[in-house]
Structures are given as structure tokens and as C-alpha cells.
């Protein structure tokens, strides 16, 4: 198994070594979706680094001793495991490989100190596709080979966040089967970003795409720190069927110190829609393509590249796509419409305002 | 906010309109005799059919339309929750009150009857509908044969030699009564299919909303809409004539703004011109029986009598052909788009059972929809045009007999008064002594014209009486597009935030200067890129849709003419805003959002 796997060369057989998040990025890129380029450091690298550092047995023992009902015991074991991994030296050959891949990515994107996102992508023997969303760390706007290598190590350590340990214990996954792959991906400086569901999360309407959008990096929306603008777009007609413009008080922005920080949005931008109608349409099309590729409702993260012209399709990037879980898991309610025309016509006549045009939204 | 509208008994008579009640049937006005019922009911102004004060004879057609609708609901199909729609005239304006069935047990009891009767029509729709058009065509043919002529100085010798035993005056009286009865029959035919058609369409509509709660209304309309619609044929005929003029190399003969009469006369006598005129003549019957108004007023201009209207559109189309634009609707693309929409929504349905139901309901909606789309040309445009023309012929007879000074005076009489006038005329002719009419009617017409002018100045409230908590009467919602929301909006007066809302009738967003047009006469004022704001639009305005940016109407839902035509032309439209023509002033910049159903006044 190679240490470095480029997203553009991804094949489904690579999935167990890449974890859900990285595999998904590879799949989407392979499907021709506009995913920023990047590479994954395979989970095998993590396992080898731990073995080389003599930590494998120690960490397994640490976790095996945890009492899942005792949060203090989880926290203590996690802290110790993270400290052990954080003190590791990345094996020299891997260090070279990561630096080399980063340099290649820099060259490809035409920026010698290309900002990248370094993302955890956990794997699990029991559940190769388990996507542990939010259990592990992601680092934004990382620049330079030294920093990339350092953040790969931090991602490895984040396999043992308290949340991560607790999650695996809850699910009954074998702890020693868990490993960490790390994704390194070009980052853009988004003018606006957010999430999109390929159904209406309020009522499960499969004909709609619901978009949550706010200024700056998508973290503000994902973390729920801001009330985003909300748009509903009909998949078939492309029409914007509902728009709610919120007061967006906070955004993650790049500061003069070259770090991504939450700052207050200037008053005059707070209540302005953060997407144009063309951008709304482009985000909706992108989400729809992801859904068509996976053939099931998706929950996607996207961003508008601030460096691109606002009306260009090229300006919308797909950062993440995973199956929508809430409505997709619900048992389907068959017979939403009454099949007998007379019976349902009588129902329509009895409640005309439910089944009739009611003046828009 | 008020919880009720003014009582009809509180409404003052507009100054100068005193005595207006005498102009209408005694049974059509509010009165002490039915005060308790009338004050407790909810009445809304019928802006769809009669946006202005209606002349007495013209009220006949609206009354016949509503009585026919009512009889089908109440006596033919036994619509479970609905009886008829009551009608009153107040200060010359039509107010309607749908009568529902309140008792749930009675509704329940009516269902099996409805299922049997309506079910029969749905099960045999194609066969029954095949008989409809011949029936209405025969009726129109019969209307066309009607002729009114002055009573002769002497009866013809043949009346003597054939021993007929009757005279011309009986013919005159019975021909008038036949015209009136044919008008009623026309409207009975009209409602044979209409409400059932709407019910089936709305059943599909409701199914779509159940499956996809946020599906845009226009997506549903597009899945059902026909490809060849007779209502668009007059417009298509004008397009054909425009192309022919260019092909024949005579396009320049239409330039300028000479009146139609002069342009047509100028074409006569040369081979190209004659060829075009022959095509023009052929298009006229029946397609120029096309009204520029709601068709419910005798004063609505019909293309046949006002060739300047189609000529104006023709000029615009010729200019388009010369610029190399295509006039034809891209049929293949329209069909392909319709199929795409159906296929994609079908794919989004979870489960075979729901998919089959959706397909079956779509099938029924498409079966019934040609009637919903096409009847309007035959009944409202064609037949009404003939009725107004024949009534004018009768007016001419009465002008010749010195009863009237103006042909249109006949429309200032109620349908019953016309019988009395004819009797007076007959009487004078038979006795050989003066009729009272020539002295009486010119004086009375002056009074009536004064009353009608005063009524036209009045601004009718959108509704009267006590609104129900929730509008549940299906026809109020289905045919007039009035919902609990519109009632709330009326009660609250106009929106304060410089905006209006209505039906998202045709998708898209557009901005432009508003042009408020209150009647068909104003449509010539429309400039390229303006937003048309009107009480409602008529299908014959279609050609102006080529130059406007968007449409806003006071009345009408997503199946209104404005909605259908705007979807056809790809223009945003918001219909049923109630206050569009009141709140928006010509020249103001407005933003029309046909996706959300909102209109924003920008300045």
C-alpha cells in the first residue's frame, strides 16, 4: 500500500485505507465534480508510525482499561494517548513523502506556500465507511511542508479525542481496529460557504435542495455559530422556492496573521444575501450532481471561491458529500396520495386550500 | 384589524347614481326581504368576470354563468361540500357568495351520489367530451342565423297566401327570446365539464403537493398543459399572417400607423396583396371572434370589429420576423421539457405505489385539461362575440324605430325590459298609434347613462359581510383564487412595506417601470421593458407579452390567463395581488418575483 494516495487516482479498493472522508473526496473527484485537488496519507502510515515508535501495545492497553461510563477515565486515557502520539517522530521516509506530495500540490496550484486543509479521516475495520463526522480534528489554512507534517501528526492524535473514544465505545467498535488517514487538500478563500441537503430537512421533500449559506469559511455554518441564509431550490425546475435572509453576525475569515478566525461581520453586510441567484443555482446543481452520483440523498459542504468571478460555475467547489441520514432512515410512508380519484377529489373539495394554489410561499 | 367587511346595507349610493337598483333584476339586489341572510353571508367582488360596473343587459351573461355553475354543483353532480354561488349587484358591481354544505352528515350523504354522477363523467370523459364541441358549434351556428329586422309596413303577401296565421312581430319577440335562451344554454354547456375538469386537475395538484410539499405551482401546470391550445390560435394566426406578409414581400405596406381600414384597402387589387387578404379573411372566421376584454361586457372590443387590434400585433410580429426572430413556439422543445419535468419528478417518488398513483392522476388531469384550456375560446370569445353582435342588430332596429338614439342603448336595459320595449314597438306597429318608447326612452337613457357613469366612479370594496374563519368552499378557492390569506390581506388593507403578494404564477424575477393599465384601451401605451400592472389580462393581449418584462394582476390564480400566457412567453407573473392597480403607480420601479409570488415597489 502506497503512503500517499492522490484523490485524482482514487479507486474504490483504496477505501479501507483512506477512511470515509478521503474516500468520498476521491470518489467525487473521479465523478468529475469540482473538488479541490489533494492527497491522502494512508491509514497504514499511522499504524506503521505507532509501531515504529513502540506505541501500539501501550495505546491499546490504555484504551482497553477505560470505563466507558466514567468520563474522567475516558478523558485521562485520551489525553495520555494524544500526548504519546503528539511526541512521535514522523518516520523519515513518510516525512519526505508528505513534503514531496505537498510540494507537488503547490506546483499544481501555482502557489509555493499553498494553503491547505489537513483533515482527519478515521477508518475502522468493523466499519470501513464510518464517517465519524465531527469526532476528529480538521486544520484550516495550513501552509508550508513543516506545518503540514506537524498537522498530520495532530490529526493522528485526534483519533483519541474524548468524543472519538466515546463514539467507538458506544458503537462497540474494536478500538485497536481504528486508524487514521489524513487528507491534505488545497484551500480556497471562500467569499461564502455552507451546506446543502438534497431534500428539504423540514419535511423530507425529495424534490427540493435546501441550502444554508453564510459569509466566509463554512465552519460558521457547520458549527451552528451563525444563523445562515436559507434557500430552497426545486431540483427539477431550478426555481428558488423559498428564501430566508438572516442576520449573519459572525464569519470565519482569514486575518492579517494568516490564520482563520471568527470575527464579527460588518453591519452593512449582515443582512445582505450572501449568494446571488446564479450562485444559489450553481450550488443546487452541484448538490444534485453529488446526489445523482450516489443515487441517494446527500448532505454536502460547498464553498464559493472568492478568487473566481461571481457568476462563473467554476466558482462553486464541493468540499464534502455524505449520505443524508435523518429522512433516509425513516420508514417510507406509502400512499401519500389517495389512489382512488373520486375519494381523493372529495378530500380535495373538502379541504380546497390544502390542495390548491395558495399564493406562493 | 377588522374581523368583518362592511355590511352591504351600509354601503352608500354613489352621488348621481340614485335609483340604480331599477336597472337590475329585482332578485339580484340586496333587500330588506332577505336582509338577515344577506348580512350574515360573505360576499366577494367578482373581479374575474366584471371588474367594472356592469351595464344592465350585460349582467344577464354573468347571472347565467353563475346560475349554470350553481345548478351543476347543486342538482347535477351533487358536489358534496358545495351548493351554488349566490349573486348580488351592488352599485353596479357583482358580489358573489358561495353556498357551502355546513352539516358534515349531509356532506357524507352526498358523497355516493357525487361518486356515481361525477364518476360517470370521468369514466366516459372522452366520449362525452367528443360530443361537447359539436354541441357548442351547433349552438353558435344557431346564434349566427339570428337576425333582427324592423317590422314591415305591410306583412308579405306570402303570409296571406300560405295562410301562416302569424306575423313578423311574433318572430321579432320570439327571436329575441331565443337569443336569451341560447345564451343560457351556452352557459349550461360551459359548466357541463368545467368544475369536474378543475376537480380532477386539483386532485393531481394536491397529490403533487403531498409528494413534494414545496413543488412550484408552475411545475404542476407545466406537466398538465396542452401543447396545442385553441385559446392561443388567434395569436398564432396573426403570427402566420406576419410571416406571410414578409414572404410575399409586402411587409412595408404595414409600416406606419395607418388605420386598418386604410391598410387593408391599400392591399386590394395586386396579386400579392390579394393573396394576403385572402389569408386574412380565412383567419377571421372563427379566430377573430376574440375579445380584448373579459368578454363579459358588450363594450369589450372584438378583433372582428376592431381590426386595428390584430393589426397592431401584426406589425410587432412583422418587425420580429424582419429582425430574424422566430415566432413559433418551439413545439419539440416544449414537449421535451414537459417530458423531462414529468420524468424527473416521477424518479424522485419513493415507491411504486405512489408512482402509479401519480401517473394515474396525471393521466386524468391531462384527459380533462383540454376542456379547461379550450372552452374559453368557444364560449367566452366566440359565442359572446356573436351575442353582442346580434344584440347590436336589435339595437339598430330600435334606433330605426326612434326608441333609441344609440345602438348600445339596448345594453342599458335589463333582459326583461327588452321584452317590454319590443312589446311597445309591436303595439305601436299593430295599432297604428304612437308607441310610448320614442318619448320615454331617450329621456330614460340620459338618466341611465348618468347613473352608469356615477357607478363607474365608485370604488367597490373587495368584499362585504362576514368572512368565514377559514375559506373552505372549494369554488371560491378554485375558480376565483380567494383564500383565507386574501381575506386577511383585504381586512388588513394594503401592505405597508411597499410590497404585495399573490400567486407565484410564472417563474422568474424581473424589474422595470410599472405601467398600470385599467382596460384594454390602455395596452397601446405599454413600452418595451415595462411591467404590466392590470386588474386582469385577457388572452387577446397576448402579443404585448412580447415586449413587457413581467405581469402583475389584481385577480386570478395560477390558471388565469395572465399566468398561462406569461408561462408561455417565459415572463415572471404574480397574479391575484388584490391591490396591484391601487398601490402601484405608473412609472414606479417594481421588482416582480414570479417564484415567490411577491412584488416589491422599489421607488
Q: pLDDT class for B73, splitting at 50, 70, 90? A: very high
Domain ranges (residues) in chain A: 4-186, 190-329
CA B594 to mean position of chain CA atoms: 23
pLDDT score of A312: 57
A257 at the B interface (CB within 8 A)? no
B213 and A232 in contact by Cβ < 8 A? no
CB contact under 8 A, A352 and B576: no
Instruction: Tell me whether residues B213 and A338 touch, CB distance under 8 A.
Output: no
Whole-number pLDDT of residue A67: 84
Which grid coordinates belong to B321?
A: 420576423
The pLDDT value given to residue A356: 43
Using the Cβ of A345 and the Cβ atoms of chain B, whether some distance falls under 8 Å is answered with yes
**Closest by Cβ to A234, choosing from B122, B209, B214:** B214
Nearest chain A CA: its distance from B474 CA (Å):
5
CB contact under 8 A, B114 and A346: yes
B132 reaches A (C-beta below 8 A):
no
Cβ within 8 Å, pair A240-B596: yes
| Average pLDDT of chain A, as a whole number | 86
Its pTM surpasses 0.80? no
Greater confidence (A339 vs B263) lies with: B263
Query: Sign (positive/negative) of CA torsion B69, B70, B75, B77?
Result: positive
Report how far apart, in Å, the C-alpha atoms of A51 and of each of A10, A46, A64, B87, B263 are. Answer: 26, 9, 18, 90, 97
Residue B521: pLDDT over 70? yes
End-to-end CA gap in chain B? 27
**Region for B508 from its dihedrals, namely left if φ exceeds 0, alpha if ψ lies in -120 to 50, beta otherwise:** left
Nearest CA distance, A210 vs chain B (angstrom): 11
pLDDT at B535: 80
**Does the distance separating the beta carbons of A355 and B199 come in below 8 Å?**
no
Domain ranges of chain B: 8-116+460-472, 124-199+361-455, 494-601
**How many percent of chain A have pLDDT more than 70?**
89
Flag whether pLDDT at A132 surpasses 60: no
What pLDDT is stored for residue A357 in this prediction?
Answer: 40
Tell me if chain B has a CB within 8 Å of the CB of A331. no
> How many CB pairs below 8 A link A and B?
180
Q: Report which of A166, A173, A170 is spatially closest to residue A74, judged by C-alpha positions.
A: A166
Strand order from edge to edge, sheet including A116-124: A4-6, A38-41, A178-186, A116-124, A138-142
Please classify residue A69 by burial: count the beta carbons closer than 10 Å to its beta carbon, then call 0-12 exposed, 13-18 middle and 19+ buried. exposed
Residues of B in contact with A348 (CB under 8 A): 199, 202-203, 205-206, 474
User: In angstroms, what separates the C-alpha of B225 from chain A's closest C-alpha?
Assistant: 15
Q: Would you call the peptide bond into B519 cis, given omega within 30 degrees of 0 as the criterion?
A: no
Identify which of A75, A74, A83, A29 has the alpha carbon closest to the alpha carbon of residue A53. Answer: A83
CATH 3.50.30.10 corresponds to the domain B494-601: yes
The pLDDT-based confidence of A332 (bands split at 50, 70, 90) is low
ipTM reported for the complex, 2 dp: 0.80
Show residues of chain B in contact with A240, CB under 8 Å.
595-596
Q: What is the pLDDT of residue B149?
A: 96
Over residues A100-104, mean pLDDT: 96
Contact B111, B355 (CB under 8 A): no
Query: Is B340's pLDDT higher than 50?
Result: yes
Distance between B87 CA and the closest CA of chain A, angstroms? 21
Picking from A267-281, B22-36, B522-536, B537-551, which range would have the lowest pLDDT averaged per residue? B537-551
pLDDT surpassing 70 at residue B498: no
B82 within 8 A of A349, measured Cβ to Cβ: yes
Determine contact, residues B538/B501, Cβ cutoff 8 Å.
Answer: no
State the Cα torsion B137-B139-B140-B146 to the nearest 10°. 150
**What number is the average pLDDT over the span B199-209?**
89
Query: Is A295 in CB contact (< 8 Å) with chain B?
Result: no
Residue B127 at interface with chain A, using a CB cutoff of 8 Å: no
Q: Determine the CATH number of domain A4-186.
A: 3.30.1490.20
Q: Across the interface, which of A200, A207, A361 has its CB nearest the CB of B597? A: A361
pLDDT single digits (tens) A85-99: 999 989 999 999 999
pLDDT category of residue A331 using cuts at 50, 70 and 90: low
Q: What does B210-227 look like in DSSP terms, one character per residue?
A: HH-TT--HHHHHHHH--S
Is A19's pLDDT higher than 90?
no
DSSP per-residue codes, B178-197: HHHHHHHHHHHHHHHHHHHH
Task: Match domain A190-329 to its CATH number in 3.30.470.20, 3.40.50.720, 3.90.1210.10, 3.40.50.300.
Answer: 3.30.470.20
* A359 in B contact zone (CB under 8 Å): yes
Mean pLDDT of chain B: 90
Quick: pLDDT tens for B301-336.
Answer: 999 999 999 999 999 999 999 999 888 777 888 889
Give me the pLDDT at residue A360, please. 26
Neighbours of B130 (CB within 10 A): 10
Confidence check: pLDDT of B9 > 80: yes
Amino acid at each position: 500500500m502506497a503512503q500517499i494516495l492522490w484523490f485524482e487516482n482514487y479507486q474504490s479498493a483504496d477505501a479501507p485505507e483512506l477512511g470515509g472522508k478521503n474516500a468520498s473526496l476521491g470518489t467525487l473527484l473521479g465523478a468529475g465534480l469540482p473538488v479541490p485537488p489533494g492527497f491522502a496519507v494512508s491509514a497504514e502510515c499511522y499504524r506503521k508510525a505507532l509501531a515504529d515508535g513502540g506505541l501500539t501495545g501501550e495505546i491499546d492497553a490504555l484504551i482497553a482499561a477505560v470505563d466507558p461510563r466514567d468520563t474522567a477515565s475516558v478523558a485521562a486515557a485520551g489525553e495520555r494517548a494524544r500526548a504519546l502520539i503528539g511526541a512521535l517522530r514522523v518516520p523519515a521516509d513518510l516525512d519526505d513523502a508528505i513534503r514531496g506530495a505537498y510540494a507537488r500540490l503547490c506546483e499544481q496550484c501555482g502557489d509555493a506556500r499553498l494553503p491547505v486543509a489537513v483533515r482527519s479521516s478515521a477508518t475502522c475495520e468493523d466499519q470501513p465507511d464510518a464517517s465519524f463526522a465531527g469526532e476528529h480534528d480538521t486544520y484550516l489554512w495550513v501552509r508550508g511542508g513543516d506545518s503540514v507534517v506537524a498537522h498530520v501528526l495532530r490529526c493522528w492524535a485526534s483519533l483519541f479525542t474524548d468524543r472519538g473514544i466515546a463514539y467507538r465505545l458506544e458503537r462497540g467498535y474494536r478500538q485497536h481496529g481504528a486508524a487514521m488517514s489524513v487528507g491534505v487538500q488545497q484551500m480556497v478563500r471562500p467569499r461564502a460557504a455552507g451546506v446543502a441537503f438534497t431534500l428539504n430537512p423540514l419535511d423530507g421533500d425529495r424534490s427540493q435542495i435546501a441550502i444554508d449559506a453564510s459569509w466566509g469559511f463554512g465552519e460558521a455554518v457547520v458549527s451552528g455559530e451563525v444563523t445562515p441564509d436559507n434557500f430552497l431550490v426545486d431540483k427539477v425546475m431550478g426555481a428558488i422556492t423559498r428564501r430566508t435572509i438572516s442576520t449573519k453576525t459572525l464569519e470565519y475569515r482569514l486575518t492579517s496573521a494568516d490564520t482563520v478566525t471568527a470575527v464579527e461581520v460588518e453591519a452593512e453586510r449582515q443582512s445582505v444575501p450572501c449568494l446571488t441567484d446564479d450562485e444559489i443555482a450553481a450550488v443546487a446543481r452541484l448538490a444534485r450532481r453529488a446526489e445523482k452520483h450516489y443515487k441517494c440523498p446527500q448532505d454536502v459542504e460547498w464553498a464559493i471561491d472568492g478568487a473566481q468571478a461571481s457568476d462563473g460555475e467554476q466558482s462553486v467547489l464541493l468540499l464534502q458529500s455524505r449520505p443524508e441520514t435523518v429522512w433516509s432512515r425513516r420508514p417510507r410512508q406509502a400512499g401519500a396520495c389517495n389512489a382512488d380519484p373520486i375519494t381523493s377529489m372529495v378530500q380535495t373539495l373538502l379541504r380546497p386550500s390544502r390542495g390548491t394554489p395558495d399564493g406562493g410561499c | 384589524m377588522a374581523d368583518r367587511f362592511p355590511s352591504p346595507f351600509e354601503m352608500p349610493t354613489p352621488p348621481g347614481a340614485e335609483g340604480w337598483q331599477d336597472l337590475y333584476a329585482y332578485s339580484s339586489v340586496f333587500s330588506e326581504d332577505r336582509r338577515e341572510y344577506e348580512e350574515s353571508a360573505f360576499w366577494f367582488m367578482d373581479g374575474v368576470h366584471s371588474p367594472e360596473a356592469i351595464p344592465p343587459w350585460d349582467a344577464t351573461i354573468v347571472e347565467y354563468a353563475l346560475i349554470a355553475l350553481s345548478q351543476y354543483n347543486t342538482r347535477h353532480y351533487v358536489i358534496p361540500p358545495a351548493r351554488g354561488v349566490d349573486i348580488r349587484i351592488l352599485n353596479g358591481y357583482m358580489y358573489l357568495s358561495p353556498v357551502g354544505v355546513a352539516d358534515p352528515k349531509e356532506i357524507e350523504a352526498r358523497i355516493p351520489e357525487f361518486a356515481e354522477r361525477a364518476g360517470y363523467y370521468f369514466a366516459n370523459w372522452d366520449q362525452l367530451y367528443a360530443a361537447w364541441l359539436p354541441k357548442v358549434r351547433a349552438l353558435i351556428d344557431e346564434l349566427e342565423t339570428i337576425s333582427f329586422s324592423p317590422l314591415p309596413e305591410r306583412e308579405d303577401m306570402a303570409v296571406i297566401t300560405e295562410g301562416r296565421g302569424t306575423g313578423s312581430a311574433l318572430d321579432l319577440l320570439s327571436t329575441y327570446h331565443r337569443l336569451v335562451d341560447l345564451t343560457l344554454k351556452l352557459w349550461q354547456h360551459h359548466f357541463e365539464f368545467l368544475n369536474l375538469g378543475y376537480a380532477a386537475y386539483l386532485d393531481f395538484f394536491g397529490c403533487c403537493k403531498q409528494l413534494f410539499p414545496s413543488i412550484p405551482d408552475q411545475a404542476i401546470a407545466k406537466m398538465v398543459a396542452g401543447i396545442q391550445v385553441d385559446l392561443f390560435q388567434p395569436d398564432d394566426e396573426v403570427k402566420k399572417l406576419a410571416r406571410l406578409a414578409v414572404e410575399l414581400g409586402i411587409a412595408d405596406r404595414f409600416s406606419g400607423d395607418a388605420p386598418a381600414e386604410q391598410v387593408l384597402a391599400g392591399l386590394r387589387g395586386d396579386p400579392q396583396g390579394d393573396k394576403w387578404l385572402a389569408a386574412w379573411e380565412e383567419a377571421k372566421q372563427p379566430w377573430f371572434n376574440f375579445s380584448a376584454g373579459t368578454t363579459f361586457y358588450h363594450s369589450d372590443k372584438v378583433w372582428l370589429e376592431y381590426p386595428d387590434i390584430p393589426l397592431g400585433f401584426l406589425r410587432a410580429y412583422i418587425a420580429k420576423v424582419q429582425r430574424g426572430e422566430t415566432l413559433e413556439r418551439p413545439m419539440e422543445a416544449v414537449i421535451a421539457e414537459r417530458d423531462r419535468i414529468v420524468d424527473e419528478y416521477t424518479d424522485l417518488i419513493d415507491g411504486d405505489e405512489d408512482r402509479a398513483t401519480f401517473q394515474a392522476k396525471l393521466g386524468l388531469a391531462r384527459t380533462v385539461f383540454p376542456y379547461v384550456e379550450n372552452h374559453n375560446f368557444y364560449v367566452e370569445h366566440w359565442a359572446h362575440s356573436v351575442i353582442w353582435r346580434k344584440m347590436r342588430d336589435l339595437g339598430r332596429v330600435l334606433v330605426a324605430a326612434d326608441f333609441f338614439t344609440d345602438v348600445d342603448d339596448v345594453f342599458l336595459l335589463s333582459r326583461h325590459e327588452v321584452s317590454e320595449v319590443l312589446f311597445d314597438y309591436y303595439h305601436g306597429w299593430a295599432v297604428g298609434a304612437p308607441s310610448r318608447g320614442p318619448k320615454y326612452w331617450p329621456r330614460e337613457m340620459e338618466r341611465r347613462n348618468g347613473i352608469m357613469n356615477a357607478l363607474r366612479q365608485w370604488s367597490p370594496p373587495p368584499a362585504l359581510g362576514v368572512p368565514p374563519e377559514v375559506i373552505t368552499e372549494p369554488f371560491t378557492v378554485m375558480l376565483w383564487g380567494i383564500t383565507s390569506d386574501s381575506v386577511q390581506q383585504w381586512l388588513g388593507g394594503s401592505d405597508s412595506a411597499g410590497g404585495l403578494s399573490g400567486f407565484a404564477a410564472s417563474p422568474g424575477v424581473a424589474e422595470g417601470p410599472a405601467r398600470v393599465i385599467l382596460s384594454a384601451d390602455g395596452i397601446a401605451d405599454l413600452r418595451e421593458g415595462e411591467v404590466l400592472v392590470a386588474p386582469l389580462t385577457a388572452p387577446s393581449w397576448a402579443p404585448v407579452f412580447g415586449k413587457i418584462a413581467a405581469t402583475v394582476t389584481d385577480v386570478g390564480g395560477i390558471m388565469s390567463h395572465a399566468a398561462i400566457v406569461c408561462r408561455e412567453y417565459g415572463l415572471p407573473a404574480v397574479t391575484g395581488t388584490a391591490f396591484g392597480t391601487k398601490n402601484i403607480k405608473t412609472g414606479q420601479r417594481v421588482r416582480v418575483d414570479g417564484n415567490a409570488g411577491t412584488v416589491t415597489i422599489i421607488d
